[in-house]
Amino acid sequence: MIPGKLNSREMRRMMAQMGIKTVEMNDVKRVTLHGDSKDYIISNAHVVLIEARGEKSFQITGDLKEIPKSSARTDEPVFPDEDVKLVMEQAGVSREKAVEALKKAEGEVAQAIVDLTTEK
């Protein structure tokens, strides 16, 4: 069989027979990869988890943006504006408190909101 001639149903069946599972992660909108000299942000991300032989791999497609890290930059994290606004709205706090909570939660928006709403 020539792979280009397979329909998607046949391909899924063959992959299942080989023990390969795929799961679309539809709730993922953005992926950030942190490198030594650059950060990579993939927005409008489409992520597929592929599991074969007990190992998990990810296939990621989307719009790639590379952000170089300058040597003068401090280790101060920069959070996306939409994350800061979401924390501000959900927890009812100022921008400064939202940024501080995001730092404490290592950029995890949900954890920052939980931390702020449970400390009141």
Mean pLDDT of the residues in the chain: 86
Residue 95's contacts (CB-CB under 8 Å, 6 or more residues apart) are 84, 88
What percent of the chain has pLDDT above 90? 51
Q: Per-residue confidence at 65, pLDDT binned at 50, 70, 90?
A: very high
Task: Identify the pLDDT of residue 72.
Answer: 45
Strands (E) across the chain are located at 21-25, 30-34, 38-52, 55-68
Task: Identify the pLDDT of residue 88.
Answer: 93
Beta bridge partners of 7: none
| C-beta of residue 70 within 8 angstroms of C-beta of residue 78 | no
Q: Per-residue confidence at 120, pLDDT binned at 50, 70, 90?
A: low
**Domain limits, the chain:** 3-68, 81-118
As given in the structure block, the two tokens for residue 56 are 């998990």
Domain 3-68 fold: Ubiquitin Ligase Nedd4; Chain: W; (2.20.70)
The predicted-structure confidence for 83-95, as pLDDT tens digits, reads as follows: 999 999 999 999 9
- List the CATH code of the domain at 81-118: 1.10.8
76: nearest Cα among 49, 100, 97: 100
Q: Per-residue confidence at 31, pLDDT binned at 50, 70, 90?
A: very high
